[in-house]
Amino acid sequence: FLGHMQGPAIDLQVVTIFVVAGLTGALVGARLTRLVHPEHLRKSFAVFVIALAVFLLADNIHKMGWI
């Protein structure tokens, strides 16, 4: 563990970009939740997760050796 502490293993510029993007997304998302009915938000998120799963499966099906 201490061996990793000697040098900057983390790119602070990349960390800063992700922190700013994450905070911006959180603030915008918090405001948008006031405009969207919770049931619509839940169903939209479910559709997004299923679509992502189908995409990842289709993209990796050959790598897994299933086809």
- What are 16-25's pLDDT values in tens digits? 999 999 999 9
The fraction of the chain above a pLDDT of 70, given in percent, is 88
Name the CA dihedral angle for 25, 53, 38, 27, rounded to a multiple of 10 degrees: 0
Residue 10 has pLDDT above 90, yes or no: no
Residue 56 has pLDDT above 60, yes or no: yes
Sign of the CA dihedral 35, 33, 23, 55? negative
The answer to whether 61 touches 67, Cβ cutoff 8 Å, is yes
Label residue 2 by pLDDT band (50, 70, 90). Answer: low
Q: What is the pLDDT of residue 63?
A: 85
What number is the average pLDDT over the span 48-59? Answer: 96
The answer to whether 25 touches 17, Cβ cutoff 8 Å, is no
